[in-house]
Structure 1
Amino acid sequence: MQPVRAPLARAVVLACQCGSAKNAIWRRTAFRRFASSGSKLLTRPNTPKPLPYKPVGPKPQPGDPPAKVSSEPAGSSSKAQPVSELVRSRWFPLFGIGAATVCISYFLAAQAVHWNMEPVERYAPGLEPQAPTGRPSIQSPVEFDLHLDKSEWRLGITKLRRKLAAEARGHVLEVAVGTGRNLEFYDWAGITATPEEVKKRALEKLNKVRGDRSKLADLGADEVRSFTGIDISPPMLDIALRRARQVVPQMAGALPKRPLFSQLASPGQHGLDCIALRDNKLRVFTTDAQSTLPSPPTGDKYDTIIQTFGLCSVRDPTLLLAKMASVLEPETGRIILLEHGRSWWDMVNGLLDRSARGHFERFGCWWNRDIELIVRDAERRVPGLEVVKLERPGLLTMGTHVWIELRLRRAVAIPKVDDGPGKSGERRSPDHEEKPSGSWFGNVSGSSSVLSVGGKPLGPKEP
C-alpha cells in the first residue's frame, strides 16, 4: 500500500501547485494591464441570464408604408362588444347606478312636494312669534364672534365691512356695534392723532391747497371727527372694547388688557352708561336704539350713521330707521346699512323660512325678513327720507345681502319715544297675526307694522 499512496499524494500536490500558479499568472497579467492602461481592475466577465424568447417580426423595408399606431389600450380587444353582452358582464354596477338615480329622484321630488304643500312659517316684520334680541342665546358672545370669522370671509362680508367703513366721515354713529367687527376698518387718524401729528397733517393739507386756507374745510370733511357706538348688550361691548384696544391707535394705553364695560362705564348723556375716550371723540354707549340715541359730541346731528345686520334684530325696524333719520344731518348726511334678508329667488326664500326659527334660537334674529320692503315702508312713512342706493352685492349670498344708502331731504321732527315702538306700535295679539301661507313660492304681501309715535302715525312722504 505504501508504494501506491506516494504517487497519489505527489499528483495532488502538483495539481494544487499548478492551480495556484495559474491564478498567480492571471492576477499578475491583470495588474500589469491595469497599471499600463490606467483603467479599472479587470474582473471576470459576468454573462447575463438569457431572457425569454420573443419573436421578432420582419424588419421594415425602405419601400414599405409606415406602420399604424393603435389608439386602443394594451390588452383590449379591437372588437366592439354588443350591448346584450355588456349588460350580462356588467349588470351589477349598472343596476346599482339605476337604483341610486331612482332613489335620489324620488327624494328630491318628495322634498319639492313637501315644501310646496306644507305651510311655511312666515310673518310680517315685527309680528314674529318671538321678539328678536340680536343676542346669541345658545352660544356665548365669544363663541358667536369666533363663529363669524370664517363665514364672513367666505361670503365676502369682510370686504363689504371695509367698504362700509371707508364711507364714514364727520361725526359717525354706529348702531348695534355688537362685538366691534367694523372697528378695524375705520380711519382713526382724525381722532387719535397726537398734537405733533395734527400739526404735520395741517401742514400737508395747507400744501395741498397751496396756502388757500378757505379750502382747508373741504379737505377735513372726509375724515372721521368723532365716533359713537351703541349696543344693547354689555357682554358684546366687552368684546368690542377688547377689539378697539387692538386695532385703534393709542387705545392700548387707555384701556386695560381685559376691559369690562360694566366696570369702566359711567353715566353720560341722557343718563346712559358710557365710556368716553380721546376728549369725548370716541364714545361707547349701552342703550336700545329704538328708544334713545345720543347726540354727537359737538352739534346735534350725525354726518354718517352705520348699521350692519341690525334690521333683523329689532322689534320694529321701520321705527328704528325713523329714529336714525331724526339724528341725521339733512341733505349731506347718509344712513348706510348692510343687512341680510329675503332673496330675489323663491327657492332661497323657502329655505330661509323653514330655517328661520332655528336661526333665531341660535343668533336671536329673524333672517327671513324682507329688508327691501322694510326700507320702502320707512321711505313712504318718514317725511323726507329717501333711498339713494339699494343693491344686492355678492353672488355667493344669492341676493340675501342688501346694501342700502339713505339720505334726509329735510329735518324730521319725531317726538321723543321712551318705550320702543310706542303704544300703537305694540305687538298684536295672536288673533291678529298674519297666518302662514300655504305655499313657499309666494311673496310676502306686505308689512303690517305701523310706524307711529305718540299714538299718531307719521304722514306720507311729500313729493
Structure 2
Amino acid sequence: MSKKKQKKTSTSGLSSPSKPSVPPRPHASNKPQYDRAALREDLVLGRFKSFDPDAEAREKQRAAEAAEAAAALAKKRAERLTFTRLITWWASKTIEARKANAPGGKKPQYADIKIPEHWPTPQIPREELQRVKGPRLSRTLYWWLTASKSTPASRTAPSRPPPKYPALQLSPEKPTSLAPLTTTQKAKRARGLYWIAGLGVWAMTSYGAYLYLQYSKAHRIYEQNEREYALGAKSRPEVDTLEVYEGISDRYDAGVRTSERFIGMPLLRRWMLWGLEGDVLEASAGTGRNNPYYNIGRISSITMVDNSPKMLEIAKSDFHKRYPSYGQIAFAAQDASEPISSPSGEGFDRVVQTMGLCSQKSPVDTLRNLERHCKPGGKILLLEHGRSHYAWLNSILDTYVLDHARSWGCFWNRDIGQLLRESGLVVTRISRFHLGTTWLIEASPRPRDAAQVRDETAQPGSLAGDRDCAVKGQPASGAAHATDASESPGGSTAS
C-alpha cells in the first residue's frame, strides 16, 4: 500500500478503538440558553445608558418600590388573617359562655354549633400587637387573651414573651395611678388655664361693650327721630322694596348664604318643609332658597308666587336644575295679597311663606289672602323675623330699620305677633329663636264651608311647568308646587 493511501486510511479511521476519543461537548442544559430578546434589551439599554446615566439607578429604584409594595401587601394580608382568627375565637368563646349560663331544661340557642372542649387560645406575639395597635391597647389585648378568667385552672399560663427593649428596666408592678405632677408642671398647667379664661373674659367684655355702644347710639337716634316726626319737622321715609329686590336679585343669594348658615336657617327651613304634601303654594318665593328641601315625591303640585320677576326667574331656573323631571310646577310674578290660581280651583293643602312679611306693603292683607287660598283642614307655615323679646334689641332694630330696608328690602322690626292677631289666623304653634327675632309659626284657616272656599279662590290654572313667569299685574299662568323662601318685595322673602 502506498504512503498516500495509508495516510488516507489513518485519517478516516476515527472510530478505531486504538485511538483516544475526543471528549464529548457539554450538554445543552449545563450551559445558559441563548436569549435573543434579552440580548437585544441589554444592547438597547446599554445604548441608552450612554445618553442617560441615571437609567440604571431609576431601574433599581423601581425594583425596590415593587418589592416594597409586595411586602406591604403581604403584611396587610397577614394582619387581616390575624384579625379574622381573633374574631372567630371571640365569637366561639361568647357562644360557649352563653351555653354554659343557659338555665336548666332550656335547649341551647345554637345547638348545631360544636365547640371543642379545649379551644386553643391564640398566641399573638406582643411585639406584633404593639406594632399594629399601639402599646397600651396591645397590653390590654395581651392580658385579655392570656389571663382571661374563662381559662381552665389546669391550663398553664403561657410564657412571658421576651421584652421588646431589654435595656429598659420596667417596674414589676403596674402603677395604679399616674405619677403626681411636679411643681413646674402644675404652674404650667395653671398658666394655660389663666390664659384661656382671660381670653374668654376679654371676648365677652368686648362684645358686651359693642352691644352697649350700639344700643346707646340707637336709643339716642330713635328718640330724636320720634321727636322730629311728632313736631312735623320731617316725614317718615318710604322704601320701595320691589325696586330694591330687582336691583339685588343677582347678588342676593351670595349676600345671605353665609349669615343664614351661621344662624342655622337651613335647619329651620328643612324643619318647616318636612311634611309637605298635596297642592302646595309658596308665597314670597324669592330666589328659591327653599328648593333644596322639597320632598317632591309627596307633593302633587307646587305654585311659586313672588312680586319680583327677576328673583322668581332665578327660583325657576334653580328648581328645574334640581328636579328636571318634575312637571307639576307653576310660577306667577304677582303680589301675594292678590288672587292666586290653584290647580283644582279649591285652594291649596299647604301654604308656605319664608321671610315675606318683612318686605310686604300690607302684611295683614297678605295673611288673610293666604288663609282664603288654604283648604279647610290645611296648614299655613310661616318662617318670619321681626321684633325680639328684649327692648334693647328692639331699639337697635328700630334705629337701623331704614338702612337695612334700603340695602335688603326688609323691615326687620315688624311685630309678627300683632300681625297674626290682626289677620285672625288660628295659630296652633309658635317657636322663637335668635333672641326672639325669628318666628316659626304653624297656623290653620278659620272654619268655612266648601262653597265659600270656591268663591274666594281663583279659577283653576293649567300646570305648565315650562311656561314663563307671569307678568306683574296679570293672573298666574299655572298652578303651583312646593314652597320656597328667599326674600323679595311685596311677595318676596327677605332675610
TM-score by length of 1: 0.48
* Higher relative helix content: 2
TM-score by length of 2: 0.45
